[in-house]
Chains A and B, each alone.
Chain A
């Protein structure tokens, strides 16, 4: 996660040749953050469909379904660690967030990761007692989830879709999902009593953890080579006509007395 000047440059790379290439078992569908246009078109098309049938908002699960269909993968019903969508030895953790202007925003996307309970996982009943120990524990829990995913999959990526409120404008990018070294971060309690994790070297705010709810968030940045796309707003499918098309009649709903 985070900025990487090397991977931020779009390169059209063929599969590279190595002496021990034969040992590689996994086949990437596409190099990291180099989505073929075809996949983006498939994603856009499915979002058009969702909008046309009246879906008011897109959930994380919808995003998982859409992406899995677009890459020909499987959207797991219950994730393995942080792996939501899989394809052979590849796995993706699916994230989607809203922003009023996904194409121009300068804000750092905040990825809500899940509940990292230091009480449940590491027996820390009072998280405020030693903030640094709590922060370390939060990162250890994250690392464990990453470990679980990497036990089954060779490549684990986080794929992030930023959508505007109308869900017509999107920014899409991928990151390599990785573990964090707890000693590289220092933790502070903010005025809202949430814990904030800062990278010691850069003093950048990288994580937030809420003692109320145990919610763990990672801050990332939108790379320059993120993919930007738009879809046309489709007309809303007429519910009456659609039901007529499938010969719906009132007795399809049976009230049991």
Chain B
């Protein structure tokens, strides 16, 4: 879709490279090509950092060395928070995934020493910490999106989608403690589980569903580059490693 025409269009400073979750085939092809290269040179898995590098290169953006709030990759005034999760079959319909969204520590941020004492208070503190990270990112960048890559264990099958990144209204959620001692954030209106927070480790997880219009793609398994041959190609010799 083209950019809509508005009377005050001139005020818009941001030019999106593409509308949200409407990722052009050309970008997917670039991403896939890079994944083929990575498998060929011996990558065994893809980290969030790798995903940030590949995506930034594919859209011509920058992968920040240290994120601003939750902004990992930036392009002009736009930013993406990069997430990747593993699943046996990323193409298997409309499933739910858990996005590990950083450490939110009510102890450090609010001085809540015992997170179990008042779990509603702890849960609200966790969401406030998340919201503050979104604030920081949006101080510098807007729009702010989350880019999610679901990858198969063999790194050949992928599902990719984007979401608008936003704050959560803390009062819309109630918190319960599960048998493992983790806190679960439940949407008061729908009863759906939206968040998990682990008192040990302070890890905050957002639950989301893969949308029907998520992009699905596959890559061919490339042959693995021969380490010895590759090093020969660059004229590696033993004296490149100098023991002092």
Bound-state Cα–Cα, A246 to B221, Å: 11
Contact check, A40 vs B241: say whether CB atoms are below 8 A apart: yes
A181 beta carbon closer than 8 Å to chain B: no
A255 close to B199 (CB less than 8 A): no
Q: Does chain A have a CB within 8 A of B103? A: yes
Chain A contacts of B233 at CB under 8 A? Answer: 237
Tell me how far the C-beta of B231 lies from the nearest C-beta in chain A, rounded to whole angstroms: 6
Asked if residues A65 and B44 are in contact (CB atoms below 8 Å), the reply is yes
Question: Chain B residues near A115 (CB, 8 Å)?
Answer: 200-201
Within the assembled complex, what's the spacing in Å between the Cα atoms of A237 and B223? 16
- Nearest residue, chain B, Cβ from A57: B49
Question: Which residues in A have their C-beta under 8 angstroms from that of B117?
Answer: 125-126
A37 and B242 CA atoms in complex are apart in Å by 10
Q: In the bound complex, what is the Cα–Cα distance between A239 and B25 (angstroms)? A: 20
CB within 8 A of A248: which of B36, B41, B45, B49? Answer: B36
- Interface residue ranges of A112-139 to B (CB < 8 Å): 115, 117, 119-121, 125-129
Q: Are A44 and B240 in contact (CB under 8 A)?
A: yes
Give 1 or 0 for each of B204-234: 1 = CB within 8 Å of chain A CB.
Answer: 0000000000011111101101010011011
Q: Check A234 against B36 for contact (C-beta < 8 Å).
A: no
Interface status of B181 (Cβ within 8 A of chain A): yes
Kindly identify, within residues 31 to 50 of chain A, every residue whose CB is under 8 Å from any CB belonging to chain B: 37, 40-41, 43-46, 48-49
Stretch at the interface among A11-19, A151-159, A197-205, A222-230: A222-230
For B34, the chain A residues whose CB sits under 8 A away are 239
Q: A3 at the A/B interface (Cβ < 8 Å)?
A: no
Q: Is the CB of A255 within 8 A of B201?
A: no
Chain A nearest CB, measured from B46 CB (Å)? 11
Residues of A within 8 A of B241 (CB): 40-41, 43-45, 48, 229-232
Q: Are B108 and A212 touching (Cβ within 8 A)?
A: yes
Number of chain B residues close to chain A: CB under 8 A: 54
A214 near B: Cβ within 8 Å? yes
Cα(A115)–Cα(B198), bound, Å: 12
Assess the B236–A45 pair: CB atoms within 8 A: yes
Cross-chain pair count, CB within 8 angstroms? 156
- Residues of chain A within 8 A (CB-CB) of B41 are 53-54, 237, 242
A31 to B242, CA, bound (A): 22
Point out the residues of chain A lying under 8 angstroms from B36, CB to CB: 243, 248, 252-253
Among A44, A121, A129, A253, which residue has its beta carbon within 8 angstroms of that of B33?
A: A253
Please measure, in the bound complex, the distance between the C-alpha atom of A229 and the C-alpha atom of B244, giving whole angstroms. Answer: 5
A65–B238 CA distance with the chains assembled, in angstroms: 20
A43 contact set on B, CB distance < 8 A: 241
Chain A at the B interface: SS class:
mixed
Q: Does B123 contact A (CB under 8 A)?
A: no
Contact A59-B47, Cβ < 8 Å, known A234-B234, A246-B223: yes
Instruction: Report how far A131 CA is from B36 CA in the complex, Å.
Output: 51
Q: Which residues of B contact A44 (CB under 8 A)?
A: 240-241
Bound form: Cα–Cα A250–B32 in Å: 9
Q: Is B49's CB under 8 angstroms from A212's CB? A: no
Known contacts: A103-B244, A234-B236, A237-B234. The answer to whether A242 contacts B108 by CB under 8 A is: no
Contact, CB under 8 Å: A254 / B217? yes
Q: Is A211 an interface residue (CB 8 A)?
A: yes
Bound CA–CA A254/B217 (angstroms): 5
Q: Interface digits, A165-198 against B, CB 8 Å rule (1 contact, 0 not)? A: 0000000000000000000000000000100000
State how many angstroms separate the Cβ of A193 from the closest Cβ of chain B.
6
A2 at the interface (CB under 8 A from B): no
Known contacts A49-B231, A212-B107; is A120 also within 8 Å of B181 by CB?
yes
Inter-subunit contact A212/B103 (CB<8 Å): yes
The answer on a CB contact under 8 Å between B227 and A49 is yes
Judge if B77 is at the interface, Cβ distance under 8 Å.
no
Residues of A within 8 A of B216 (CB): 255-256
Which listed residue (A41, A121, A125, A254) contacts B218, Cβ 8 A? Answer: A254
Q: Known contacts being A48-B231, A120-B200, is A248 close to B243, with CB within 8 Å?
A: no
- Which residues of the other chain, B, contact A121 by a CB distance below 8 angstroms? 200
**A22: interface (CB < 8 Å):** no
Query: Which A residues are in CB contact (< 8 Å) with B21?
Result: none
Give 11 CB contacts A-B under 8 Å.
A41-B238, A41-B241, A49-B227, A53-B41, A53-B230, A57-B49, A119-B199, A129-B113, A232-B242, A243-B37, A253-B33
Q: Other CB < 8 Å A-B pairs besides A56-B53, A253-B29, 4 of them?
A: A48-B241, A126-B113, A242-B41, A256-B216
Binding site for A on B (CB under 8 A): 25, 28-29, 31-34, 36-37, 40-42, 44-45, 47, 49, 53, 91, 103, 105, 107-109, 113-117, 181, 199-202, 215-220, 222-223, 225, 227, 230-231, 233-234, 236, 238, 240-244
